[in-house]
Structure 1
Amino acid sequence: MHILLSNDDGYAADGLSSLAAALRQAAQVTVVAPERNRSGASNSLTLDRPLRASRASNGFIKVDGTPTDCVHLAITGLLDQEPDMVFAGINHGANMGDDVLYSGTVAAATEGRFLGYPAIAISLATVTQDGKHHFDTAAAVALQLLTRIQRQPLTGDLILNVNVPDVPLADVRGYQATRLGQRHKAEPVIKSHDPRGNNIYWVGPAGPEADAGPGTDFYAVRNNYVSVTPLQIDLTRHEGLQSLGQWLQGNMTQ
């Protein structure tokens, strides 16, 4: 099996190295990742300039683009051998609930799915950005999932969004199939000034958990379970089609 691996934290991220080392125990791995941190890039493609790819000192291929660029470039022209599936991660921080709409990690997996491959996005639900984190736990989870996939392959239309609690592997209580929870609205932007006195703004923190009860990804991770959420590309709210159709049949001039 040949796996294409990417991320949004950049080619030098600890989580990426941990994931590559783990997956290489069971498969051939090619890493194509952004040259710098591109967290929050979502599904953006770079269309206004050419992309450049080069081999980094750690052996990974780095690209001066987004996570989506990396996966798209790898599959549609960069690699001589097509992958069998795509892994994205290990992200430094959770991608739960509304996060998936912004996440570059999930976007890398989504691009793999767009191009016809089963894909997994895996994130470590770190509480802080400092200190020692258990990327080895998330890497072990990824290897367990890959081993299961090799026995029971996933369909090409499936994306798994996996969030792993930041605890030693021995403290992980198991796996739960979950749905996406929801957050409250984001915190306000943080206003500051540059050295010349001009206003600058930092995007505020994500909102706290709102819909986070049993069955959600938030609840599973909070209770030391690995959350596995199946995602789909189709954003259509199918149950709203009939009522929308009836609404559209009304007199639009009134």
Structure 2
Amino acid sequence: MASSRRLRALITNDDGINSPGLSALAAGARDAGFEVVVAAPHVDASGVGGSVMSVRDGDRTLLHRRELPDLPDVTAYAVEGHPAYIVHSAGRGWLDPLPDVVLSGINVGANLGHAVLHSGTVGAALAASMHGWRALAVSLDTPWTPLERPHWESAVHFLPEVLDVLLAAPDGTVLSLNVPDRPVADIGELREARLSTFGAVQVHVDYRDGEHGEALHSFVTEISTPPEPGTDAALLAAGHPTLTELQGITERPGVLDSVRRSLNAG
């Protein structure tokens, strides 16, 4: 990484190009010394995970130049595609020069537990690791109905420290940072956390057959059992920002050997 040039950061998210959290993250990366380019979905793409879908006209996916609030000198695109699609496109010839890191967020709402599988914010970061890039997903623990003015500055406050950790890590490292939606003065120290079983909330789905036909109705319920100590959900609830290293899909060798040993033992 030793070079006289500035490191380049691709900034994306899943809440869409108009999210204030996206602008806050881009400004934070710029202030940390990165050369910044922004590319985010043209509409909200929350919950798409690692999807690489895009709106296509033949072999074209449209880009729309945008100017972000208070960032007139930052190149920004609204892309008619999902976050992981944007990252993969950057690595398949679109962006030149390529990014050194991918920063995704600041997400509206925490990304906790094994439910991060469904997050488009995390999906973009995991897609970056497939190209050998370091990546960071940043999420703010806003209520389900966010406050009028979330504390984006609190997430940005921890960005320099976490970026130092990220840049010191091996290529392809993916980190997930969750920050309480509180003033900086009311937040505890940064803690490393393991993933909780699921997260802080769950989506419940009901089947209904009414006058408009059959439908699935979704609503969010809080998990009633206390989170396990040391997990991201527990530490975040206690007021600590949490940092977790994530790994993408990988193989686990020995499946046939274990089956054969089991059969032979029987």
**TM category, shorter:** 0.7 to 0.9
1:39 paired with 2:46, answer yes
Partner SS, residue 121 of structure 2:
helix
Instruction: Tell me which residue corresponds to 2:9.
Output: 3
- Partner residue, 1:93: 109
Report the Cα offset of residue 126 of structure 1.
1.0
Q: Which residue of 2 aligns with 1:123?
A: 139
Give matches, 1:40-79, under 5 Å: 40-46=47-53, 49=56, 50-58=60-68, 59-79=75-95
Structure with the larger strand share: 2
CA distance in 2 between counterparts of 1:222 and 1:48 reads 38
Q: Does 1:12 align with 2:18?
A: yes
Could you give the per-residue CA deviations for residues 181-224 of structure 1, whole angstroms, max 9, x where no partner exists? 01389443245689x72333233326616572221001110111
Residue pair 2:54, 2:80 contacting (<8 A) in 1 also: no
Superposition RMSD in Å: 2.8
Asked whether the 8 Å contact 2:54–2:85 carries over to 1, the reply is: no
Measured after TM superposition, the shift of residue 146 of structure 1 is 2.1
The share of aligned pairs that are identical, in percent, is 32
For residues 156 and 64 of structure 1, what CA distance do their matches in structure 2 show? 28
**How far has the Cα of 1:65 moved from its partner?**
0.8
Task: Provide, for residues 75-125 of structure 1, a one-character-per-residue CA deviation record: whole Å limited to 9, x for no partner.
Answer: 322212111111111000010002211000000000110111011111001
Aligned residues: 248
SS at match of 1:46: coil
Specify which of 152, 156, 179 is matched with residue 164 of structure 1: 179
The one-letter code sitting in structure 1 at the alignment partner of 2:9 is I
1:135 to 144, 152, 159: 152
8 Å contact 2:108–2:146 — kept in the other structure?
no
Q: 1:53 to 1:172 in 2, by over 3 A?
A: same
> Matched residues in 1 for 2:203 and 2:122: separation?
22
What letter matches 2:49 in structure 1?
S
What is the letter of the counterpart of residue 159 of structure 2?
A: A
C-alpha deviation, 1:127, in angstroms: 1.9
Question: Which residue of the partner structure matches residue 108 of structure 1?
Answer: 124
Q: What are the residue-to-residue correspondences of 1:173-184 with 2, within 5 Å? A: 173-183=188-198
CA distance in structure 1 between the aligned counterparts of 2:259 and 2:81, rounded to whole angstroms = 39
The residue type equivalent to 1:173 in the other structure is G
Name which of 133, 139, 144 aligns with 2:161.
144
Distance 1:48 1:38 in 2: 12
SS in 2 for 1:221: helix
Q: Extract unaligned runs of 5+ from structure 2.
A: 1-6, 69-74
Which stretch of structure 1 is more off in the superposition, 180-189 or 23-32? 180-189
The superposition leaves residues 147-181 of structure 1 with CA deviations (integer Å, 9 ceiling, x where unpaired) of: 4545xx22113111111111111111111111100
- Residue 203 of structure 1 aligns with which residue? 218
- Report the TM-score when normalising by structure 2: 0.82
Aligned in 2, Cα 1:210/1:244: closer, same or farther, shift over 3 Å?
A: farther
Unmatched tracts of structure 1, length 5 or more: none
Question: Equivalent of 1:231, from 239, 246, 253?
Answer: 246
What is the CA distance between 1:143 and its match in structure 2? 3.0
* Matched position secondary structure for 1:215: coil
